[in-house]
């Protein structure tokens, strides 16, 4: 496994920009690349490989979409020991590693039945994520023994993931001319104490399976519908709640309603469940041992949560740098591709050991 070979594959993937909503070209490219394989396509997402119930199935999972590029990463390129390009760390480096291992004939013939999962819509709203439809359409995915989600993890094994919930905290008042504000009630300034409290709100540590997840409540957007010379009668703050995997979606919604109780109304507009760490799962433990990497919690949302909901043990492991995700000039160290690829190959070649197979 060479850095040059993996790097060249990554550069090819980076050349297919595929911002969320425009994943058709990369899906077509993947379908052509794997024309000799069994391919199931749903929308712009694919599962590649033949289900084999006689062997435990391991899913190599990566999303194909990226956030919009900047001038600093629009053109993919090598820059010294780094590869620069939109999606280099999040997460086409992981997709390249997964593809490389999937295409290795020795690994394909080994203890694990490998399926490559390349899906669209991860960077957009939860309901637009095509992994959900894939899980519904391809039964072999729900029967998998392990899903390796190749998100950026700085070469650490990150278990579980945070849940994510967006809610609008709505403050209402009474409109008036800005020259005579006493004739109305300013919904914007009515929210002042709430915003001050939110600004100073500390993170809350929550331990799950011996891992510490940090819950945060963050204002991310705000708006009024009034003109500049009108006292606003409505002020809306979008609040993002990242919650630990000890909570269900229903529990998270109740909790956010409590935390936003100063608002006149709370409207949940987007939600994604958390993912359990599954630290005691046999294949999770074997992956950790084979990778020889540090273990920690995933302080973000990933599709480990969808696999968790489907009853499939899953973990996050990838070559990308978490601090580079969505950054201008996004890059990944080329050496990270080899380290991640070799760790994944060790697990696939030797890590399953005596894990039971169907008779």
3-class secondary structure, 227: coil
> Catalytic residue at 136?
no
Q: Calculate the CA dihedral of residues 12, 14, 16, 21 and round it to 10 degrees.
A: 150
3-class secondary structure, 266: strand
Can the peptide bond before residue 91 be classed as cis, meaning omega within 30 degrees of 0? yes
**Which residues does residue 216 pair with via DSSP β-bridges, in sequence order?**
242
Whether the Cβ atoms of residue 42 and residue 52 lie closer than 8 Å to each other? no
57-63, strands of its sheet edge to edge: 39-42, 45-48, 113-119, 57-63, 146-149, 314-316, 157-159, 295-297
Angle among Cα 75, 80, 82 to the nearest 5 degrees reads 65
Whether the Cβ atoms of residue 9 and residue 2 lie closer than 8 Å to each other? no
Distance CA(307)–CA(147), nearest Å, equals 7
Q: Which one of 73, 104, 122, 123 is the catalytic residue? A: 122
> Catalytic residue at 103?
no
Q: Which of 284, 341, 340 is CA-nearest to residue 307?
A: 284
Q: Which one of 65, 151, 303, 334 is the catalytic residue? A: 65
Active site residues: 65, 122
């Amino acid at each position: 496994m060479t850095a040059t070979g993996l790097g060249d594959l990554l550069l090819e993937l980076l050349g297919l920009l595929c911002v969320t909503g425009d994943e058709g070209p990369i899906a077509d490219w993947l379908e052509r690349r794997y024309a000799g394989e069994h391919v199931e396509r749903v929308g712009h997402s694919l599962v590649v490989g033949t289900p084999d119930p006689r062997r435990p199935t391991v899913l190599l999972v990566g999303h194909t979409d990226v956030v919009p590029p900047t001038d600093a990463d629009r053109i993919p390129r090598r820059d010294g020991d780094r590869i620069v390009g939109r999606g280099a760390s999040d997460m086409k480096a992981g997709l390249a590693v997964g593809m490389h291992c999937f295409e290795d004939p020795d690994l394909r013939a080994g203890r694990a039945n490998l399926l490559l999962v390349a899906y669209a819509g991860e960077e957009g709203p939860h309901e637009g994520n095509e992994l959900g439809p894939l899980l519904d359409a391809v039964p072999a995915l729900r029967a998998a023994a392990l899903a390796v989600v190749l998100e950026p993890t700085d070469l650490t094994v990150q278990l579980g993931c945070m849940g994510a919930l967006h809610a609008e905290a709505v403050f209402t008042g009474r409109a008036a001319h800005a020259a005579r504000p006493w004739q109305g009630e300013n919904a914007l300034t009515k929210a002042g104490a709430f915003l001050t409290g939110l600004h100073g709100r500390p993170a809350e540590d929550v331990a799950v399976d011996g891992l510490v997840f940090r819950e945060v409540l963050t204002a991310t957007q705000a708006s009024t519908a009034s003109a500049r010379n009108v006292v606003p009668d409505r002020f809306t703050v979008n609040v993002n709640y990242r919650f630990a995997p000890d909570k269900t979606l229903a529990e998270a919604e109740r909790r956010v309603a409590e935390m936003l109780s100063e608002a006149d109304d709370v409207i949940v507009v987007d939600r994604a469940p958390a993912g359990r760490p599954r630290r005691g799962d046999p294949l999770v433990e074997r992956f950790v041992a084979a990778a020889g990497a540090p273990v920690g919690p995933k302080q973000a949302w990933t599709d480990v949560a969808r696999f968790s909901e489907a009853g499939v043990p899953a973990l996050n492991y990838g070559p990308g740098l978490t601090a580079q995700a969505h950054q201008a000039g996004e890059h990944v160290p080329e050496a990270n591709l080899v380290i991640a690829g070799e760790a994944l190959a060790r697990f696939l070649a030797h890590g399953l050991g005596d894990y039971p197979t169907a008779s």
